[in-house]
Structure 1
């Protein structure tokens, strides 16, 4: 199979692996983009199409389908932040986040949802974002859905997703099919390790090659350290080249000067860069209201093989427990399934010794359901805060209060009931004190009594949002509805960090649509002429 990245490099794409630099230097460009994920990729595509000189900076490596061998041992250290072991400061939440060219779009599970209308309504009421609504954003979502092949997944769900569908339908809970951004998918199930068949329409395969074809320059293994500013304008960005391990600095440094700077390093990386740079933050909002969709997990053993590593990872969802919950009341939650691979499963599963080994021996019969808690709307659900740790690296403090645990208990009960309704012979909430249950009645009693607190009840997340929130005024947000920084004229933020709350849905399509809108506005301003929505 052809590798379009290697073909592009052979044809003359401008790519610099900073780990191979022999010396430092200074680079001038029109627009400097930090980050190559959903926001950075879309922005690079649009700005390069407007005729602007674009430079992209990525801390992780450039990898492609030739490197994606469906092996966890390769993928996690190469493609994820902190080898897929990034955690909150208290170690209570594990965070899966991409760190490679294409960012999390290279390793996500392709689930694509538009921002729910009620979320836009809340943003208008609470943050004055009158310009953003389901109606005003509809065309941007439609354009990105078309460009990135977001389509209904018509292949029957794998056995793991069928458990959710069957159990929910038996209980009268509405379920739906998840749209996926894939083209010619082989239905392998290894999306989280990079797509080996070039079916996933990630930034790695779509917008970044488009920008490189127009002459954009990509730097990989290059860490953005500090923005320099003079008055109300950014003047330059200091960067440090990394060694081939992608972790330690090599000692080579680069300085980038540009007309405009776009920060798209994700909802932990972007606030951290701005904090390191000491950008103006008079209301002390930077890094605060960072949201994760805290996820609790229920594992079940089914009578027959599930083989949850095979087939589209996520194809079925249920919003029943979102719709029945008032937006600003007790937290609602979305139900989905994850793929199961041995390392991911074993390191998330509770227990140790023989108890853990017993569950691993049943790996092929395991089903898992996830509940994504919708945080940021209830007044007691304020998310976390990004701060700087050792060597200026980001740390996320994320207190898990009673409003989270109350929803977690309801979610564990709901998932167990669904799994038993689907025929499970044993259900075990992923919780260190849960013994596992053989009947729904037993599970209902047991889960009601489980102690819920950090490090005992397993909490994970793959969705990071907020920290540079949008608002109509600087006392309520870091950027405006266009992603423009309130205090620095030539600084924009184009990623999920601008969301004022979580979304209650997988965020990639929301980032695509908003970045397309805001990058188009920026392209028109910088080029001096109207620019089509998407080239």
Structure 2
């Protein structure tokens, strides 16, 4: 088989302006029209629109530049190179593990491609509680359409893998509706290793879509370069201070330091990191909103042993879901949850499953026959679901304090019950709630009785998340949020936030398309303001 083309390496050979790490020294000073912190979903959309409008752009990314030639479907390589804290980022009490990208393209390079528009119920809640009247389906429709067309968000035409098909089989048997998940892929090989970077460039991440356009238009990309702080004075950012970092995110004693001056600054570091930059910068926060209401979609899981081989590592990672347990109650009632079937890979499974020693070894021997369901808990819509708070450690690094309240854990219990029942309906021989005190149960009645009695406590209940939102929330007035409805910081006139930290609650669905659509709107507005154009050119 001939070697696949690598558009990133080809672009570097054409002379893209990439500096940092192995790509050459970063200048001590840089100036531009717009400096963008981060290179993920919000940064990529913003960079393309700004660069195509003729503005000079500098993109600052803490992680490395890796491309399809580097993606070899190996967990041992992908997690240390492409994820925050080697895919082991955790909340302050270690009760929640967080998967979050740290590379060019951010989490879009390593996500599982699931694409949902922001649910109407979420938009309605934002309008009612945060004054975001213009954030409605009709107003956002053209921006979602543009993003979907640009990133090839479309229905998945191939049959679901067995891991997803079992979700459908069990749910349908119980009368629970199941729907297909749209994916942002083009020419997908159905490999199933999306979380390790796409080796065929089928995933339409920022790495292969918007960022190459920005670089072709002359944008500068700084990699392995950390945005340490913004220099804020007189209601404006005066400069961005950066430092070079090694691949393991440490700062060497002789690390290069860079000062970037710009007309405007866009913070797109992702929830957790974006609030942390503002905290390190001692940015104005008169109403104590910064870093507050940071949301995760806490995820709980149940595993099942099936008679047939499941091989959850093969095929599209998430192609089916059900919102039945989101729609069954009011949005501000008991915590709702969305059910999906995640991909299964040895390392991520072994570090998530409960137990140790021989019992865990016995479980892992059943890996080819293992099926897993996950529940995304929808947080942020109830007074007992306030999310978490981003704080700074002594060295200035970010950490998320995220209390798992009784309200949240009630949702976790109900989710485990729902998933176990679906798995038994799908033919499971045994089901294991992913909880340190659970064991394998052989009947639905046995599992139900056990789950009803499990102590739903942090560290006993295994909780993970790959969706981080909030911390720099949008609001119609400065008392309820950090950022104005147009994305500009309430107290800093030349600073915008364009990432998932904007969301006032969790989304209630995988958030990447929400970021694409909403930031598309905000970035077009920024182009208009900076260029004086009556209308910004939409995404190509």
TM range (shorter): over 0.9
Q: In structure 2, how many angstroms separate the alpha carbons of the residues matched to 1:61 and 1:160? A: 32
Do the aligned partners of 2:235 and 2:491 also contact (CA within 8 Å) in 1?
yes
Alpha-carbon RMSD across the aligned residues, in angstroms, is 0.9
Question: Are 2:243 and 2:251, in contact at CA under 8 Å, matched by a contact in 1?
Answer: no
Within-5 A mapping of 1:51-450: 51-249=54-252, 250-450=254-454
Q: Distance in 2 between matches of 1:255 and 1:404?
A: 43
Distance in structure 1 (CA, Å) of the matches to 2:32 and 2:246: 25
Deviation at 1:533? 2.0
Deviation at 1:131, TM superposition (A): 1.2
**Equivalence for 1:531:** 536
CA distance in 2 between counterparts of 1:507 and 1:97 reads: 13
Are the structure 2 counterparts of residues 384 and 101 from structure 1 closer, same or farther at C-alpha, using a change threshold of 3 Å? same
Distance 1:331 1:196 in 2: 38
8 Å CA contact 1:375, 1:382 repeated in 2: yes
The offset of 1:246, in angstroms, is 3.7
Q: CA deviation at 1:379?
A: 1.2
1:83-125 CA-to-partner distances (Å, cap 9, x unmatched) read 0000000000000000000000000000000000111111000
How far 1:482 moved relative to its partner?
1.4
Contact residue 80 and residue 248 of structure 2 kept, 8 A: no
Deviation for aligned residue 1:340: 0.5
Deviation, 1:243, is 2.7
* Aligned counterpart, 2:42: 39
Distance 2:38 2:284 in 1: 21
Once residues 422 and 154 of structure 1 are traced to their aligned partners in structure 2, the CA distance between those partners, rounded to angstroms, is 23
Q: CA deviation at 1:432?
A: 0.6
What is the aligned partner in structure 2 of residue 457 from structure 1? Answer: 461
Q: Distance in 2 between matches of 1:20 and 1:184?
A: 30
Contact persistence 1:87–1:95 (CA under 8 A): yes
Contiguous gaps of at least 5 residues in structure 2: none
Q: Matched residues in 1 for 2:115 and 2:23: separation?
A: 37
Please give the TM-score of this superposition, normalised by the length of structure 2.
Answer: 0.98
Q: What is the CA deviation profile of residues 159-183 of structure 1, one whole-angstrom value per residue up to 9, with x for unaligned ones?
A: 0001111000000001000000000
How far apart are the structure 2 equivalents of 1:511 and 1:2? 29
1:463-517: CA deviation from partner (whole Å, max 9, x where unpaired)? 0000000000111000011111000110000000000000110000000001110
**Unmatched tracts of structure 1, length 5 or more:** none
CA distance in 1, matches of 2:191, 2:43: 28
Tell me, in whole angstroms, the C-alpha distance in 2 between the residues paired with 1:363 and 1:27. 51
Is the 1:19–1:242 contact (alpha carbons within 8 Å) kept by the matching residues of 2?
no
1:272-308 deviation line (CA, Å, top 9, x unaligned): 0001000100111100000000000000000100000
Report SS of the residue matched to 1:44.
helix
- SS at 1:504's partner residue? coil
Over 3 Å counting, the alpha-carbon distance change for 1:66 and 1:379 in structure 2 is: same
Q: Does 1:504 align with 2:508?
A: yes
